[in-house]
């Protein structure tokens, strides 16, 4: 959609419209009056923010599944960020995409994320967290390698949809896994720490990807390397506690998973 709009109005005007949408979202959130915490804030002991962050960090580091899923997502972001940071270069140089086609390129990923997210519940009833998380990331790596080998825009577009759909399932299931394991009072702290650990690798990955492209003068080769790493990394984690994640779920969740057809 952005590519189509950019052909009608200037890019600076488009960015202004985008910034207004952020302001609208912030206003919508600010208008929510209901509280989300079930516990009365007055009954909770006063704590410092650094102490709460430290508590969340200790919880993540000492839990075998949370520790490994955080490490997996950190490594995933380290290698995968190059696809997004250099996506415009790839589309323009490798696929020879126009501005309109560039909009389709990124829109396809969003469509894939929406479509695949609708199947998250169905997959959860039939497969374990470990199978879905490791499988989606490895399949996403395969899609990236095939995508890097195709120099034609219209053939590459379905692979973008498939890749981003698989990665949306990855994000949904890692988030759900943390929700299933972590007690409610600790969930916010654990998710904050997990996000910090996962996203902290992105600047380094972006720099490394840009350097390798400049060094090799071959963006497709670097993208293929990213796909290969995305395929291999989760297979290594299959031999850790993450490969047996359902064993660490609360009993009611484990029972529900066992009762579901496989």
Rounded distance between C-alpha atoms, residue 225 and residue 207, angstroms: 15
- On whether both 213 and 245 belong to a single domain, the answer is yes
Burial class (CB in 10 A: 0-12, 13-18, 19+), 51: exposed
Average pLDDT over residues 134-160: 94
Assign residue 235 the CATH number of its domain.
Answer: 1.20.1250.20
Percent above pLDDT 70 for the chain: 88
Which residues 6+ apart lie within 8 Å of 198 measured at CB?
A: 70, 73, 74, 76, 77
Range of the domain at 16: 1-30
More confident residue, 137 or 189: 137
For the stretch 53-111, pLDDT in tens is 788 888 888 999 999 999 999 999 999 999 999 999 999 999 999 888 888 898 899 89
Please, what's the largest Cα pairwise distance for the chain? Answer: 61
More confident residue, 46 or 13: 13
For the stretch 228-240, pLDDT in tens is 999 999 999 999 9
With a cut of 70, say whether residue 45 has pLDDT above it.
no
- On whether both 76 and 175 belong to a single domain, the answer is yes
> What is the distance, to the nearest Å, from the Cα of residue 187 to the centroid of all Cα atoms in its chain?
18
Rounded distance between C-alpha atoms, residue 55 and residue 187, angstroms: 11
Average pLDDT over residues 242-252: 81
| C-alpha closest to that of 137 among 27, 23, 238 | 238
Average pLDDT over residues 11-16: 80
Average pLDDT over residues 214-224: 95
223: pLDDT confidence band, cut at 50, 70 and 90? very high
- On whether both 8 and 73 belong to a single domain, the answer is no
Question: Given this model, what pLDDT does residue 262 score?
Answer: 39
Ranking 40-54, 70-84, 172-186 by mean pLDDT, the lowest is 40-54
Both structure tokens of 49:
């923010």
Rounded distance between C-alpha atoms, residue 132 and residue 121, angstroms: 11
137: pLDDT confidence band, cut at 50, 70 and 90? very high
- On whether both 242 and 196 belong to a single domain, the answer is yes
Rounded distance between C-alpha atoms, residue 107 and residue 219, angstroms: 21
Q: What is the pTM of this model?
A: 0.80
Which residues 6+ apart lie within 8 Å of 176 measured at CB?
A: 120, 124, 129
Looking at the chain, the number of H-run helices and the number of E-run strands are 13, 0
- On whether both 69 and 194 belong to a single domain, the answer is yes
47 in a domain, yes or no?
no
45 in a domain, yes or no?
no
Question: Given this model, what pLDDT does residue 4 score?
Answer: 59
Looking up tokens 């909009």, which residue turns up? 103
20 in a domain, yes or no?
yes
75 in a domain, yes or no?
yes
C-alpha triplet 78, 220, 108: angle, nearest 5°: 75
- On whether both 24 and 142 belong to a single domain, the answer is no
5 in a domain, yes or no?
yes
- On whether both 102 and 197 belong to a single domain, the answer is yes
- On whether both 25 and 136 belong to a single domain, the answer is no
Question: Given this model, what pLDDT does residue 17 score?
Answer: 80
38 in a domain, yes or no?
no
- On whether both 105 and 227 belong to a single domain, the answer is yes
With a cut of 70, say whether residue 213 has pLDDT above it.
yes
36 in a domain, yes or no?
no
Contact call for residues 123 and 149 (beta carbons, < 8 A)? no
- Domain count for the chain, please give it: 2
Question: Given this model, what pLDDT does residue 3 score?
Answer: 58
131 in a domain, yes or no?
yes
- On whether both 80 and 182 belong to a single domain, the answer is yes
- On whether both 167 and 241 belong to a single domain, the answer is yes
- On whether both 103 and 213 belong to a single domain, the answer is yes
């Amino acid at each position: 959609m952005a590519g189509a709009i950019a052909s009608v109005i200037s890019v600076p005007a488009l960015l202004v419209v985008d910034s207004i949408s952020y302001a609208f979202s912030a206003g919508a959130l600010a208008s929510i009056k209901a509280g989300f915490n079930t516990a009365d804030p007055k009954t909770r002991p006063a704590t410092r923010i650094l102490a709460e962050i430290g508590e969340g960090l200790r919880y993540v580091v000492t839990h075998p599944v949370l520790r490994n899923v955080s490490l997996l997502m950190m490594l995933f972001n380290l290698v995968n960020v190059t696809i997004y940071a250099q996506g415009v270069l790839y589309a323009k140089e490798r696929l020879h995409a126009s501005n309109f086609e560039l909009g389709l390129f990124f829109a396809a990923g969003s469509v894939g994320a929406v479509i695949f997210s609708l199947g998250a519940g169905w997959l959860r009833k039939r497969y374990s967290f470990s199978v879905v998380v490791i499988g989606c990331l490895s399949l996403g790596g395969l899609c990236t390698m095939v995508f890097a080998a195709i120099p034609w825009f219209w053939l590459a577009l379905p692979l973008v949809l498939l890749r981003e759909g698989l990665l949306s399932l990855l994000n949904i299931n890692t988030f759900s896994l943390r929700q299933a394991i972590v007690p409610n009072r600790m969930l916010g702290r654990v998710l904050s720490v997990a996000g910090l650990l996962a996203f902290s690798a992105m600047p380094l990955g972006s720099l490394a990807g840009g350097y390798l492209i400049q060094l090799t003068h071959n963006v497709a080769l670097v993208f293929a390397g990213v796909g290969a790493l995305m395929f291999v990394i989760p297979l290594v984690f299959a031999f850790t506690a993450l490969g047996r994640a359902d064993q660490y779920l609360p009993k009611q969740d484990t029972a529900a998973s066992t009762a579901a057809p496989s």
